[in-house]
Amino acid sequence: MNAPHPAHFESSTSPFPMNRWWIAGFSWELKDKPVARKILGRSLVLFRTPDGQVSALEDRCCHKELPLSLGSIEETGLRCGYHGLLFSHAGACIEIPGQEIIPSKACVRRFPLMERDQVLWVWIGRTASDLPNDEPPHYSFHNDPDFEFGGDCYHYDAPYQLIHDNLMDLSHLGYVHTKTIGGNPKVHMNAKLSVTQEGDQVNVIRLMPGSVPPPTYTAAWPFKGLVDRWQEVEFHVSHVLVWSGAMDQGSGSFDDPHRVGFHMRGFHGVTPETEHSTHYFWTIANNPQPGRDNVTQLVVDQTAATFLEDKHIIEAQWKNQCQFEERSTLSIHVDGGPNRARRVIERLCQEQVTT
Amino acid sequence: MNAPHPAHFESSTSPFPMNRWWIAGFSWELKDKPVARKILGRSLVLFRTPDGQVSALEDRCCHKELPLSLGSIEETGLRCGYHGLLFSHAGACIEIPGQEIIPSKACVRRFPLMERDQVLWVWIGRTASDLPNDEPPHYSFHNDPDFEFGGDCYHYDAPYQLIHDNLMDLSHLGYVHTKTIGGNPKVHMNAKLSVTQEGDQVNVIRLMPGSVPPPTYTAAWPFKGLVDRWQEVEFHVSHVLVWSGAMDQGSGSFDDPHRVGFHMRGFHGVTPETEHSTHYFWTIANNPQPGRDNVTQLVVDQTAATFLEDKHIIEAQWKNQCQFEERSTLSIHVDGGPNRARRVIERLCQEQVTT
Amino acid sequence: MNAPHPAHFESSTSPFPMNRWWIAGFSWELKDKPVARKILGRSLVLFRTPDGQVSALEDRCCHKELPLSLGSIEETGLRCGYHGLLFSHAGACIEIPGQEIIPSKACVRRFPLMERDQVLWVWIGRTASDLPNDEPPHYSFHNDPDFEFGGDCYHYDAPYQLIHDNLMDLSHLGYVHTKTIGGNPKVHMNAKLSVTQEGDQVNVIRLMPGSVPPPTYTAAWPFKGLVDRWQEVEFHVSHVLVWSGAMDQGSGSFDDPHRVGFHMRGFHGVTPETEHSTHYFWTIANNPQPGRDNVTQLVVDQTAATFLEDKHIIEAQWKNQCQFEERSTLSIHVDGGPNRARRVIERLCQEQVTT
């Protein structure tokens, strides 16, 4: 009955699974200015040099500690905005104005950064010598000719696991998102639910045959009446994939991966900024209906509004959790998915404490 | 000579007298939305169902800890805005969407709430089992056909006893409220002063015969010249009543409770929000002069302005007290009333520590 | 190679050299209202009575602790805005409304305040009995008929020594102040540098013969082409004097104190507000070119903009230093002047710990 209180778990010395790839942003963010971003408690500066190369360095000049993100991008690296020290992609100081010798200590820590399908992935090792032994995953819907997408980065004043909870239990749609992707709350709460797990991946499938389509759906697709609606959620430690959609009632099978109808593919990069704040990097891709303009923009706009509703709820929830003393909470039927995801994170954090 | 430093007293483990009725708001605040309000350090949600019943619950859903004040009022109670759990007036969960069994643990703490003469009184017990053995008092001037009134709720970033100090020593009127209810400062400081006590009630009477009436008074009442002015203050632990007014010089006796002239009846609910912040629920009632319109609105507006001046002074005072280290202060003649009130509170707090 | 980390030094019990004159403001700030200002952690109220006398008292009434800076100036002193206690220049209470006897304890601490050449100097002793044994210095350029000046007070969310660092190493001009007084960064970094010390005074001289004059210089003075540019910085514990300027190339000698050309005389009062915040009182004086209007206003405006650039950098630097754990930093060639100044402050602070 009692779920572990979030505050309890966070008192652990390692609140995030380290030594893995986390999402640091999107490709289109790196233009002519460096970007400051704190990831898992580390202050980073992200930048792209004119030759297209991307880099993540500690956001602190080794001379007087000015954030390097206040500096300027040059052909060969990033120059500090105070006394002009120049740093390469690898974090080595390659110029100290006013002196010829560059001491070997003149460098800043570099964090491995990879760009894949417009997602920027950064490796946060427990120490500087913990380096990646794998590559970050691909995400095909950013490169699929049948889909169009848009997205944004939101900042949350709440710990990352509250966002996992939210994404892993979509039963809240009927109460929180009545204006966009909601629908009849009772249908949501009573949806047929399946929760499975493969390693660190948790899958939640919710099927709502014969539903009334919600506002965003009818605006985006010419449904004839009731719909067979699905939500398939894949939890990964660093991100959550949500495949949702609907087809005219009886027009296809939930078992057919190529089924007809309206499809939305949500990408949710949930990256801790600190123990108590989170970056939420999201995109939403949809299969636009031929001959109907602006549907993608509509879907992106309504998704943006929907996610702001979640942010409002989750930040209020966190503020309340901070305010009340550590007390047990009630688990209910729909918490199955979220609780599985929490156990994955908890185990990974404990493993890194003991190793 | 040295008064106890406020900071000293507040380090006590029980900064507020518990197990009593405190003012939580006014009747007119409870409409179609729940109201979040922290009282004596407890976060409450106050609401009224369509049948008129009022209720105060802990403002935290027992499932995921969202403030219930973000939920919505239904016929039978308050529904959480995240996953839709429904709570009765008594705090029992009466519906969990998506599951049939409601565990007995599914409930939130209820705080007794009573509505009397448009004042909402909440009982804050030291524990959930400390329940009221008396009823909150009536306040007749909210229901008196000879009086009209208005009021408001102010929030103070200052501890409640600084507001008691202010109300129990009206000598500050000549320095702080020169534009409204002030008057000659020397007359105020030299007013004939009587301080008496009956149990936990402290009374301060200040009489200023032959005074020049201040701006608010002349705007509200057709005085002929000098006035005999009075201020009678009753300190109760949870609220302070201030009867002030004036009559044409020599036109009546201060001993006559039904004396002629202009009467103002101030109700001041001073309720700690936390140790260092306070709700100030006030109304001002006056006997409107026949044939003169808008006098009540004028009195309410000028009272509102006057109380904002107090708020400005008291918040600056508190900020300064926090800034300076614990140091003795000087007590002067006019502190007699405030010091008595402080001793009442101090005794009540100490009694609850030892019991 | 490793400079002491600022955070380390600040953990000392005496972060500021006491028992000396510090700058508290400028004469023109004291008009008909008292001014609240925290200096070296002490909250002061500064005021001038109608007879012209200036005074600095502790900003706390000894009765109810209201800041005296919320009071009003009278002929003989400062009256508290709550209950009207009146304090003389010396901090003695000279009137308590409503009572005849004034206890000897009724007083507030006075801090010696002197006004010299439009600068207000306050003596902050370690205890109330540590009184001045010298007088604050004169500053001639506020009274020199050949110069005009303007200035302002800036507030920094950063400790005072970061401002010393900035003023003692002007090599940053080429990176930070490109729009006003900057110039070719390489010329700045490679300027001929001399650092000398006389007691607690540190001098940095930087000479840049044959430079391209920067925007502010060409706007203010009719240079013919390249210039011989100088910067002479005098560090004193409480303030820094910066003499900068330029003359047409080859038109005079850097050794001649009366050399021709454009001269700017900067006065920089760097006064700790707290350990982590600073008042920056600055004026800039220049020798206006005959027949050219508004040059002084232009110089003041561009200096104001320049100093805001410094504030932006230094506050970002401090925020970053707070964020990163205590780590060694790299010293480079141009740090010679700043490091000498830091050693002076460090020695003075240590001396006062042991005495």
Nearest-angstrom CA–CA distance, C173 and A83: 8
Using only the alpha carbons of chain B, give its radius of gyration.
Answer: 22
Q: What percent of chain A has pLDDT over 90?
A: 79
Nearest-angstrom CA–CA distance, C175 and A74: 14
Min Cα distance C186 → chain A (Å) is 7
Looking at B124, B150, B167, the residue that finishes a domain is B124
Half-sphere exposure of B148 (CA within 13 A, CB side): 14
Mean pLDDT across C296-300: 93
pLDDT for B9 beyond 80: no
Residues A266 and A322 reside in one and the same domain: yes
Nearest-angstrom CA–CA distance, A285 and A300: 8
pLDDT at B189: 75
Angle made by CA atoms A171, A177, A181, in degrees to the nearest 5:
85
Q: Is B64–A165 a contact, with Cβ atoms under 8 angstroms apart?
A: yes
Report the run of H or E that residue B243 belongs to, with start and end.
strand B239-248
Domain of residue B324 covers: 140-354
Banded pLDDT at C355 (limits 50, 70, 90): low
Q: Which residues of A touch C323 (CB under 8 A)?
A: 43
| Nearest beta carbon to residue B84 from set A175, A316, A330 | A175
Banded pLDDT at B2 (limits 50, 70, 90): very low
Q: Which residues of C touch B333 (CB under 8 A)?
A: 96, 98-99
Does B1 fall in a domain? no
Banded pLDDT at C291 (limits 50, 70, 90): confident
Does C296 fall in a domain? yes
pLDDT for A61 beyond 60: yes
Residue spans of alpha helices (H) in C68-177:
160-168, 173-176
Residues C118 and C145 reside in one and the same domain: no
Q: Which of A123-127, B301-305, C349-353 has the least mean pLDDT?
A: C349-353
Residues B299 and B152 reside in one and the same domain: yes
pLDDT at B13: 55
Q: Searching chain B, which residue's CA lies closest to the CA of residue A5? A: B64
Q: Which of B194-198, C173-177, C316-320 has the least mean pLDDT?
A: C173-177
Tokens of A81: 């905005």
Cβ partners under 8 Å of residue B209, min gap 6 = B228, B229, B249, B254
Name the region of C118 (left: φ>0; alpha: ψ -120 to 50; beta: rest). Answer: left
Nearest-angstrom CA–CA distance, A122 and A115: 9
The residue with greater pLDDT, B49 or C292, is B49
Does C17 fall in a domain? no
Nearest-angstrom CA–CA distance, A229 and A252: 11
pLDDT for B193 beyond 90: no
Nearest-angstrom CA–CA distance, C62 and C85: 9
Q: Is A333–B99 a contact, with Cβ atoms under 8 angstroms apart?
A: yes
Q: What is the dihedral of CA A308, A310, A315, A317, to 10 degrees?
A: 160
Residues B71 and B159 reside in one and the same domain: no
Q: What is the ipTM of this complex?
A: 0.90
| Nearest beta carbon to residue C330 from set A70, A79, A103 | A103
Q: Please indicate if any CB of chain A lies within 8 Å of the CB of C325.
A: no
Q: Which residues of B touch A184 (CB under 8 A)?
A: none
pLDDT at A13: 55
The residue with greater pLDDT, B4 or C299, is C299
Nearest-angstrom CA–CA distance, B111 and B114: 10
Residues B214 and B325 reside in one and the same domain: yes
Residues C182 and C109 reside in one and the same domain: no
Which DSSP string corresponds to A10-76?
HTSS--S--SEEEEEEEGGG-SSS-EEEEETTEEEEEEE-TTS-EEEEESS-TTT---GGGSEEETT
Nearest-angstrom CA–CA distance, B75 and B88: 10
Min Cα distance B333 → chain A (Å) is 42
CB B171 within 8 Å of CB C98: yes
Residues C162 and C271 reside in one and the same domain: yes
pLDDT at B5: 41
CB C140 within 8 Å of CB C28: no
Tokens of C85: 């206690």
Nearest-angstrom CA–CA distance, A319 and C25: 42
Average pLDDT, chain C: 92
Min Cα distance C93 → chain B (Å) is 11
Angle made by CA atoms A77, A81, A86, in degrees to the nearest 5:
30
Q: Is B98–A1 a contact, with Cβ atoms under 8 angstroms apart?
A: no
Q: Please indicate if any CB of chain A lies within 8 Å of the CB of C165.
A: yes
Chain centroid to Cα B199, Å, comes to: 20
Does A198 fall in a domain? yes
CB A106 within 8 Å of CB A85: yes
Note the pLDDT tens digit of each residue in A166-210: 999 988 888 888 888 777 777 777 788 899 999 999 999 999 999
Min Cα distance A215 → chain C (Å) is 45
Q: What sign does the CA torsion over B178, B183, B185, B189 have? A: negative
CB A82 within 8 Å of CB C173: no
CB B174 within 8 Å of CB B185: yes
pLDDT at B293: 79
pLDDT at C180: 80
Query: Could you tell me the pTM of the whole model?
Result: 0.91
At position A302, the amino acid (one-letter code) is Q
| Nearest beta carbon to residue A67 from set C169, C176, C320 | C320
Banded pLDDT at A3 (limits 50, 70, 90): very low
Tokens of C226: 């390249």
Cβ partners under 8 Å of residue B157, min gap 6 = B276, B277, B315, B318, B319
Tokens of A98: 């006013």
pLDDT for B137 beyond 80: yes
Residue A345: phi and psi, rounded to 5, are -60, -45
Note the pLDDT tens digit of each residue in C104-129: 999 999 999 999 999 999 999 988 88
Average pLDDT, chain A: 92
Mean pLDDT across C11-19: 73
CA distances from B66 to A329, B48, B70, B309 (A): 11, 19, 8, 36
pLDDT at A354: 62
Note the pLDDT tens digit of each residue in B277-302: 999 999 999 998 877 878 899 999 99
For chains A and C, what is the number of CB pairs under 8 angstroms? 73
What is the number of structural domains in chain C? 2
pLDDT for B134 beyond 50: yes
pLDDT for B84 beyond 90: yes
Banded pLDDT at B11 (limits 50, 70, 90): very low
- Give the number of other CB atoms < 10 A from CB of residue C33: 14
**SS3 letters across A244-255:** EEEEECCCCCCC
| Nearest beta carbon to residue B67 from set A189, A190, A320 | A320
Q: Which of A185-194, C167-176, C189-198, C231-240 has the least mean pLDDT?
A: A185-194
Note the pLDDT tens digit of each residue in A263-279: 999 999 999 999 999 99
Which DSSP string corresponds to B92-161?
BEEE-TT-S---TT-B--EE-EEEETTEEEEEE-SSTT---SS-PPP-GGGS-TT-EEEEEEEEESS-HH
CATH classification at residue B214: 3.90.380.10
Give bridge partners of residue A264 from the DSSP assignment: A244, A286
Does A42 fall in a domain? yes
Average pLDDT, chain B: 92
Mean pLDDT across B119-147: 94
Q: What percent of chain C has pLDDT over 70?
A: 95
Mean pLDDT across B313-319: 97
Note the pLDDT tens digit of each residue in A132-174: 999 999 999 999 999 999 999 999 999 999 999 999 998 888 8
Nearest-angstrom CA–CA distance, B121 and A259: 60
* CB proximity under 8 Å: A 69-88 to C: 70, 79-85
pLDDT for C294 beyond 50: yes
Report the run of H or E that residue B305 belongs to, with start and end.
helix B295-323
Q: Closest Cα partner for C82 from B329, A302, B111?
A: B329
Q: Please indicate if any CB of chain C lies within 8 Å of the CB of A106.
A: yes
Does B106 fall in a domain? yes
DSSP secondary structure code for residue A197 in this structure? E
- Give the number of other CB atoms < 10 A from CB of residue B224: 9
Q: Is C43–B320 a contact, with Cβ atoms under 8 angstroms apart?
A: yes
Banded pLDDT at C173 (limits 50, 70, 90): confident
pLDDT for A282 beyond 80: yes
pLDDT for A311 beyond 90: yes
pLDDT for A8 beyond 90: no
pLDDT for C182 beyond 70: yes
Banded pLDDT at B10 (limits 50, 70, 90): very low
pLDDT at B355: 56
Residues B262 and B287 reside in one and the same domain: yes
Mean pLDDT across C157-184: 89
- 3-class secondary structure, A218: helix
Mean pLDDT across C159-173: 93
pLDDT at B4: 39
Does A7 fall in a domain? no
pLDDT for A109 beyond 70: yes
Banded pLDDT at C9 (limits 50, 70, 90): very low
Q: Which residues of C238-260 are buried (b: 16+ CB within 10 A; e: fewer)?
A: bbbbbbbbbbbbeeeeeeeeebe
Banded pLDDT at C178 (limits 50, 70, 90): confident
Nearest-angstrom CA–CA distance, A350 and C110: 59
The residue with greater pLDDT, A185 or C102, is C102
Q: Is B333–C99 a contact, with Cβ atoms under 8 angstroms apart?
A: yes
pLDDT at B14: 64
Banded pLDDT at B15 (limits 50, 70, 90): confident
Mean pLDDT across B108-124: 97
CB C116 within 8 Å of CB C138: yes
Q: Which residues of B touch A169 (CB under 8 A)?
A: 83
Q: What sign does the CA torsion over A68, A69, A70, A72 have? A: positive
Residues C196 and C328 reside in one and the same domain: yes
Tokens of C145: 């008929």
- 3-class secondary structure, A336: helix
Mean pLDDT across A219-246: 96
Residues C316 and C244 reside in one and the same domain: yes
Tokens of B274: 């936390």
- Give the number of other CB atoms < 10 A from CB of residue C331: 17
Nearest-angstrom CA–CA distance, B296 and C169: 67
- Give the number of other CB atoms < 10 A from CB of residue B282: 23
Q: Is C186–A97 a contact, with Cβ atoms under 8 angstroms apart?
A: yes
CATH classification at residue A54: 2.102.10.10
Residues B31 and B164 reside in one and the same domain: no
Q: Is B66–A324 a contact, with Cβ atoms under 8 angstroms apart?
A: no
Nearest-angstrom CA–CA distance, B213 and B229: 8
Does A134 fall in a domain? no
Q: Is C65–B171 a contact, with Cβ atoms under 8 angstroms apart?
A: no
Residues A163 and A283 reside in one and the same domain: yes
CB C87 within 8 Å of CB C97: no
